[in-house]
Amino acid sequence: MAEAKRAIFLTNDDGVEAPGLHALIRALHNRGHPVLVLAPEAEQSASGMRLSLHRDLSFKVRDDIVASLSLAEGGPPLRVFSIAGSPCDCVIVALEGGMRAWAPNIKPTLCISGVNFGPNLSVDVMHSGTVSAAREAGLYGMPAIAASLGTYQHTDFDASMDALLATIDAALSYLPEQPENLLRPEGTARRPWDDEELSLDERCRAAFANGDLLLNVNFPEKWNGEIRTVALGARWYRNATNSKDIENIGVAFEVGAATIVDEELPDTDCVAVTDGAVAITPLSAWPINHPLGLNEVIITAALNSDGGGLPRWLSSD
């Protein structure tokens, strides 16, 4: 009998109907992973870490999506749900008890947010609902990865899926079946990555497993087969507002940059994606001056890559 695959929790900011989410569901389910999905009912792009406080969030069971994906019968469990809220709402509702109530037979090891349509590079990680959902999962003690197709020129989410699946496989190879820090029962007292008796790779793995380190993955428009582990780059949005007169209303403003300028800084996500590589960027889930914020030693070590471009700590024995 084949070894059972780990379960995975999926969410996003493009909404439950998004083709990038559906492509990831198919890829994971066809490989034998049980999958639980809780995603926003509608698109929530650039929503950051917004929470829908003191609002009733309508909930829907989306068996119609499961049926529409044409997955093989008799496969692993797959449940899809949506709520009328933000990406972070989805993560909190799922991890605070929703998963146990709606799909008790699916106990995820890992959260994946995406695959987002459009890049989440450099400063984008400050606004992105995709990255924020992964960060929210990390704040709740669940290991997490954010994934984005870094182009608007096509919607071929399968083109770079192998790189994401390789990253997921590497993470699952060492993560415990159930997150040991889920809901953070020990608060800030649990800091396994702070143990200087461990190797730097072991400390990075501990930070990821603890939810304190997350990964941000961006696919290029056309993948050249290369993967790079890189830092955030510098991206500047120019002419980011546009105003117009609207009858009976007055002046209205639209936010959306006319031009985007990426600085050509080596070993950064913007340059990697422009070169055609998949960019993997480790991020601290917490601000650096938070008790659980990762120090420079861990962040620097997290950027070391193996011979294939994956983070070394993710692929080392």
Domains of the chain by start residue, with CATH: 8-232+268-315 (3.40.1210.10), 235-264 (no CATH)
Mean pLDDT (whole number) for 48-72: 85
Q: Is the pLDDT of residue 171 over 80?
A: yes
Rounded Cα gap, residues 303 and 312, in angstroms: 8
Which two tokens mark 226?
């290369």
Q: Say how far apart CA 290 and CA 6 lie, in whole Å.
A: 31
Query: Residue 221 phi/psi, 5° resolution?
Result: -60, -45
CA–CA separation, 278 and 265 (whole Å): 16
pLDDT above 80: residue 251: no
d(CA 196, CA 198): 5
Dihedral sign (CA 31, 148, 141, 267): positive
Whether the predicted pLDDT of 2 surpasses 60: no
Tokens describing residue 151 = 């182009």
pLDDT band at 3 (very low <50, low <70, confident <90, very high): low
What pLDDT shows up at residue 166? 96
pLDDT of residue 253: 57
If you average pLDDT over residues 74-83, what whole number do you get? 93
- CA-nearest of 155, 92, 146 to 124 is 146
The H helix count followed by the E strand count for the chain is 11, 13
**Mean pLDDT (whole number) for 276-300:** 97
Is the per-residue pLDDT at 238 higher than 90?
no
User: For residues 7 and 35, is the Cβ–Cβ distance under 8 A?
Assistant: yes
**Are the beta carbons of 161 and 149 closer than 8 angstroms?**
no
Q: Which residue has the tokens 């349509």?
A: 117
Q: d(Cα 116, Cα 229) in Å, to the nearest integer?
A: 19
Q: How far apart are CA 119 and CA 217, in angstroms?
A: 9
Region 34-58: what's the mean pLDDT? Answer: 83
Nearest CA to 208 among 165, 161, 176, 164?
A: 176
As a whole number of angstroms, the distance between CA 110 and CA 179 comes to 8
Helix or strand holding residue 101 (H, E): helix 99-102
Cα–Cα dist 204/222, whole Å: 30
Quick one: pLDDT band at residue 56, thresholds 50, 70, 90? Answer: confident
Greatest alpha-carbon pair distance for the chain in Å reads 69
**Banded pLDDT at 1 (limits 50, 70, 90):** very low
Determine the residue type at 103: A
The C-alpha atoms of residue 116 and residue 146 are separated, in whole angstroms, by 8
Residue 241: pLDDT over 80: no
Q: What is the pLDDT of residue 46?
A: 65
Q: What is the mean pLDDT of the chain?
A: 92
- Section 190-214 average pLDDT: 97
For residue 51, pLDDT beyond 70: yes
Task: Round to whole Å and give the CA distance between 81 and 78.
Answer: 10
List the single range of 54-63, 121-130, 157-166 with lowest mean pLDDT. 54-63
- Residues 13, 40 contacting (CB under 8 angstroms): yes
**What pLDDT, on a 0 to 100 scale, did the predictor assign at position 255?**
63
